[in-house]
Structure 1
Amino acid sequence: MGQFLPCVLAGGLLTVALARTAAFVPLLPGAWAVVFGLGVVAVRPHLPRAVGLVGVGYVLVGGALLAWLPAESPGWSVGGVFGGGHLVTALILRHTTGGESDA
């Protein structure tokens, strides 16, 4: 958690700073994806190797959102990015653990 906490704090600070001006609110999904991706890369030593690629994917998609997303942010920009990323992460974890459960 200590390696991931800085990205959570940075995301919170960016949210507060960018949300103060309505014109910057559409940038939040991209900024969140970049910061979260950096956090995933930071904790990669404690997770399966392929999860690092998911982190890089978050950074790239977040960068694309920041660069090319229109002013009117589509609804998928948060749900699609994070839903897709979490789904891929879950599939990687299931594959690498053989579907075993602690329960």
Structure 2
Amino acid sequence: MTDRAAGVLPGLWQVLYSLGIFASRRLLPRSMFGVAVFYLLTGLGTLALIQGQRALNPWAMGLPFCVGQLLAAAVLYRTLERDHDAA
């Protein structure tokens, strides 16, 4: 794989991850739509703004993944687990 092709992997991963969440939205809480939008926007931003070797920087994928997973965890906790904690 060339460096140019490898440079799109972080952004492409984020876009595809968002599409997976969009496809599962009927089974997930309604608030997960925001998480999918977050991954889509960060993926498109990564593809548009970060080119070449800079795209392979671990922060280009690590930071959006960390923030997105924290958002997803917060949404799932708020919508699914809060009722169990109150009981």
TM-score, normalised via structure 2 length: 0.85
Match for residue 75 of structure 2 among 85, 89, 92 = 92
Aligned pair in 2 of structure 1 residues 75, 81: CA closer, same or farther (>3 Å)? same
For these two proteins, the number of residue pairs brought into alignment is 82
Take 1:92 and 1:81, find their aligned partners in 2: how far apart are those partners?
16
Structure 1 moving runs of 4+ over 3 Å: none
Q: Which runs of 5+ in 2 are unaligned?
A: none
Answer yes or no: is 1:42 the counterpart of 2:17.
no
RMSD between superposed Cα atoms in Å: 1.6
Greater helix fraction, Structure 1 or Structure 2: 2
1:70 Cα offset (Å) = 3.5
Asked whether the equivalents of residues 38 and 56 of structure 1 are also in contact (C-alpha less than 8 Å), the reply is: no
TM-score normalised by L of structure 1 = 0.73
Structure 1 residue matching 2:46: 3-state secondary structure: helix
> What CA deviation, in whole Å up to 9, does each residue of 1:59-84 have, x standing for no partner?
11100100001322232111111111
Q: Percent identity?
A: 34
